[in-house]
Amino acid sequence: MLKLETWSTEQPIHIRIFAIFLSIAANTCFEVLSDVKNNKLREPFKIPDISIWFKFYHSHRYLQQYLITSFSKFDGIPSIFAYGLKQLTQKDQLQTIDKNNTQSQEISLEDIYNILISYVKNEIEGTPLNDKERENVLENIVTPEFLFLMKVDFPCQFLYHESPVRIFRKARLGDLKSLDKLLRLDKTIIRHSRISKWFTHYNSKEDKREIEKLSEAIPKPFPHKISLTKEKYRIAGFISYFTELLGNRLSSPEIRSLFNAVAADYGIDSLIDPDLPDSPEAFEKAVRRQRSVWKTALANNRTKLS
């Protein structure tokens, strides 16, 4: 039995699914952010025609539909993710999952949990993709949507705690911080007419500090320092905040125990996750700080812009 399974016996099933899913994604999150920062997302990825690329800044619905359609083609975790996203997009607001009502679910929560555990076991054992799965992966990642997701959307959501759609809406109104954020991730945004006009505007001003700041952002990557420890802190804070929304907030010791279980199952020869501090107090402080960041960010994201 996995240590993850031992940990999860003490948690309601909807909390088990959410927390385990995020905890095992920490390494992937770190790898994606590192690749974006180091400009490694190149072949086979190419920026498409800007008319296609820029539409992803205008509405989040394009990426949502892509994720639902593409991930539904796979078995296991991807199909569950697509199912969950489809359910959320069909609701006007987040609703607490009824953990006792699994019979009415199109996919039962028990089924989802079992698939999640099977995925972890297969990954630990190194089970390779079959030919059909490999073909599906290649077909669905060499797309404009996937590149935008990795290069722009994910870093915006994870580092800036805002969607690129929202950041773009503020940038087109001339907000310098939002312009700076986009330019550090996506240099093509300067070709958008609603963005380029602000370069003209700031360049025409006698005080050149603003245009100098924007010009400096173009050749630079995003300024955040990337480390696996920091990304685990971000995820831990999100787990803390979101499990409360789901009706059963996990404490810092419980989240730390979850990361320890993941590390042990993936072969780390240590009683605790080596990416986390030895001090429980230090971890709790980091979780509390990130929880506050996520809470504020998600509240701001619900505020309408002009």
- Asked whether the predicted pLDDT for residue 99 surpasses 50, the reply is no
What average pLDDT does the segment 146-153 reach? 87
**Tokens at 68, concatenated:** 């639902």
User: Which of residues 91 and 18 earns the better pLDDT score?
Assistant: 18
Q: Is the peptide bond preceding residue 253 cis, with omega within 30 degrees of 0?
A: no
The residue type of 204 is: S
The per-residue pLDDT for 87 is: 63
Contact criterion met (CB below 8 Å) for 172 and 166 = no
Confidence of residue 218 (pLDDT cuts 50, 70, 90): confident
User: Which of residues 285 and 143 earns the better pLDDT score?
Assistant: 285
Among 16, 72, 36, which Cα is nearest to 148's? Answer: 36
pTM of the model: 0.79
- Asked whether the predicted pLDDT for residue 276 surpasses 80, the reply is yes
Contact criterion met (CB below 8 Å) for 259 and 273 = yes
Q: For 159, which DSSP code?
A: I
Taken as a whole, the chain contains a residue count of 306
| Burial grade of 72 (CB within 10 A; 0-12, 13-18, 19 or more) | middle
17-21, 94-98, 262-266, 293-297: least confident range? 94-98
- Residues 6 or more apart whose CB falls under 8 angstroms from that of 13 comprise 99, 102, 109, 110, 113
Q: For 226, which DSSP code?
A: P
119-123, 183-187, 194-198: least confident range? 119-123
- Asked whether the predicted pLDDT for residue 102 surpasses 90, the reply is no
